[in-house]
Amino acid sequence: MSRSVTSLVLIRHGAALCHVHQVVGGPLGCTGLSDEGFAQAEALRRRLAHSGELAEAAALYSSVLPRARQTAWTIRPAVGGGALEVIEDCALCELHPGQADGLTWTQFRARYGEVDWDAHPADPMAPGGESWNSFVPRVAAALGGLAERHRGRRVVVVCHGGVIEAALLTFVVDPGGERRLGLPTEYVSITELDTESPRGPWRLLRYNDTGHLGG
């Protein structure tokens, strides 16, 4: 890759215990990866070690949520020569759930009802939480800041499905837009964007790459 090109490699975390137990997985509800999730992250680490495709990464970032942090630490030996610090940033988290954090999804629906962000994107998930319209600009600002900070380099970000959707929505599909895409982003998938200028335009190089999982 030319040094004039800035690349963001977005990796979704592995399968999580909060998903297994159907719990809203904010800072309280997220208890890390499930056994399946650890196995998925290890499969990704083996792929990266074999291919060397992220050996020249300049930085490794993670959401502060345990499912993302554990995925990042699992793949760290195969990213950037294995010497990179995992830099945690709350701005890379999934949508903040506010008072819904830690509830089961059954409890959430009984207390707050269903959230229809396609019809009402400005509605918060729960009191103290984010709306879709506030989440997307937060992600855009965080990723745009990383691109500026590491201009001309490749940056790896371990994050969440919503973050990846917000990134594609902002940088590729509809710059400045907020409508949801409903993307089926898989666990430990790789999505990569690059640009010759962090202020755009951006190019989508790959989305939902899960070749390391087989099948």
Token pair of 37, please? 């999730």
Report how far apart, in Å, the C-alpha atoms of 193 and of each of 9, 36, 161, 170, 204 are. Answer: 7, 27, 15, 12, 5
Q: Which pLDDT score is estimated for 189?
A: 98
Task: Kindly state whether residue 128 falls inside one of the protein's structural domains.
Answer: yes
Question: What kind and span of H or E run contains 143?
Answer: helix 132-149
Q: Which pLDDT score is estimated for 197?
A: 86
Task: Kindly state whether residue 139 falls inside one of the protein's structural domains.
Answer: yes
Low-confidence ranges of the chain (pLDDT < 70): 1-3, 175-178, 215
Q: Which pLDDT score is estimated for 182?
A: 78
Calpha distance 132→166 (Å, rounded)? 9
Closest CA to 8 of 210, 191, 201: 191
CATH assignment at residue 16: 3.40.50.1240
- Which residue range(s) make up the domain with 156? 6-207
Strand partners for 193: 8, 204
Given the structure tokens 């990704």, which residue do they identify?
44
Calpha distance 170→67 (Å, rounded)? 24
Omega of the bond leading into 201 within 30 degrees of 0 (cis): yes
pTM of the model: 0.94
Strand partners for 87: 61
Task: Kindly state whether residue 212 falls inside one of the protein's structural domains.
Answer: no
Number of domains in the chain: 1
159-215: pLDDT as tens digits: 999 999 999 999 998 765 667 787 899 999 999 999 998 777 899 999 999 999 985
